Structure 1
Amino acid sequence: MFLGIHHVAIICSDYEMSKQFYTSKLDFVVADEIWRAERQSWKCDLRHGPVQIELFSFPAPPSRPTRPEACGLRHLAFSVDSVEATARLLRARGVEVEPIRIDPHTGRPFTFIADPDGLPIEFYEDGA
């Protein structure tokens, strides 16, 4: 029935800042970008390999409570070859990276960052 996740949609408070973050810090590329006048909203399709994010702007969106954890999407997680190398690259790009931890169930390393609106983003070492 399902082939995979098609995209993840993110509403941001500062469209240009978020677009800059996802493109310059996480290496996504802009695949398409449109202004939707009827909604006073930008929609930007960002791609990184098979991963697609739809980035939206809306006038005055409410803040997303993340701490303490709230109902809804908890975080976005990306598979990486090396969490250590990813963390090193992100730090070099000026991104604050949490300490690397080990998943007690799989023994795999992982870490988190936050996007400009505080959305938690996890990097999980894929053992494939």
Structure 2
Amino acid sequence: MELNKIHHVAIICSNYERSKEFYTKVLGLKIISEIYREERRSYKLDLSVGSLYQIELFSFPDVPARPSYPEAAGLRHLAFTVKNLSSYKNYLEKQGVEVEPFRIDPLTHKQFTFFSDPDGLPIELYEE
């Protein structure tokens, strides 16, 4: 038996409209489907990341905050590759997103950086 690939990454947000705008307008992810589940008072927004991956963005009433930063125990962060790290960093900053200074991966010598989604989830950009 073996695992084949990651099917999706699930993210629970505290403010659905704010997070939907961030992931679709700022990051440019495409909407696959969007449903409201009345019984859970919850939205589920499926977003495509390229042609292989998917993010499920959920909203629930009264979600507790989760302390999070790139070096926290547990699931650390979400990471995307980009062709031009400097250009993408500049784009994000023009959108009002605070982006950390570049770091260098000591193994690959590639540049990477972090920024956060509206709920503080660390997101990494890694140079291809």
Could you state the TM-score of these two structures normalised by the residue count of structure 2?
0.91
Structure 2 CA distance for aligned equivalents of residues 105 and 68 of structure 1: 18
1:75 aligned residue (74, 77, 92) = 77
Q: What amino acid does structure 1 have at the position aligned with 2:125?
A: F
Q: Does 1:90 align with 2:92?
A: yes
Paired residues for 1:25-64 under 5 Å = 25-50=26-51, 51-64=53-66
Change (3 A) 1:68 1:77: closer
Q: Please give the per-residue CA displacement for 1:33-69, whole angstroms capped at 9, x wherever unaligned.
A: 0011111110000113133110000111110111495
Matched positions, count: 126
Give me the CA root mean square deviation: 1.5
The answer (yes or no) to whether the contact 2:70–2:77 under 8 Å persists in 1 is: no
Q: Which runs of 5+ in 2 are unaligned?
A: none
1:106 is displaced (CA, Å) by 1.4
Structure 2 CA distance for aligned equivalents of residues 75 and 90 of structure 1: 18
The answer (yes or no) to whether the contact 1:42–1:58 under 8 Å persists in 2 is: yes
Q: Which runs of 5+ in 1 are unaligned?
A: none
Q: What amino acid does structure 2 have at the position aligned with 1:120?
A: P
Structure 2 CA distance for aligned equivalents of residues 105 and 94 of structure 1: 31
1:3 is displaced (CA, Å) by 2.6
Structure 1 CA distance for aligned equivalents of residues 70 and 34 of structure 2: 33
Structure 1 CA distance for aligned equivalents of residues 64 and 99 of structure 2: 25
Q: Please give the per-residue CA displacement for 1:95-119, whole angstroms capped at 9, x wherever unaligned.
A: 1111111111210000111000000
Structure 2 CA distance for aligned equivalents of residues 92 and 68 of structure 1: 23
What percent of counterpart residues are identical?
59
The corresponding residue for 1:112 is 114
Structure 1 CA distance for aligned equivalents of residues 59 and 28 of structure 2: 20
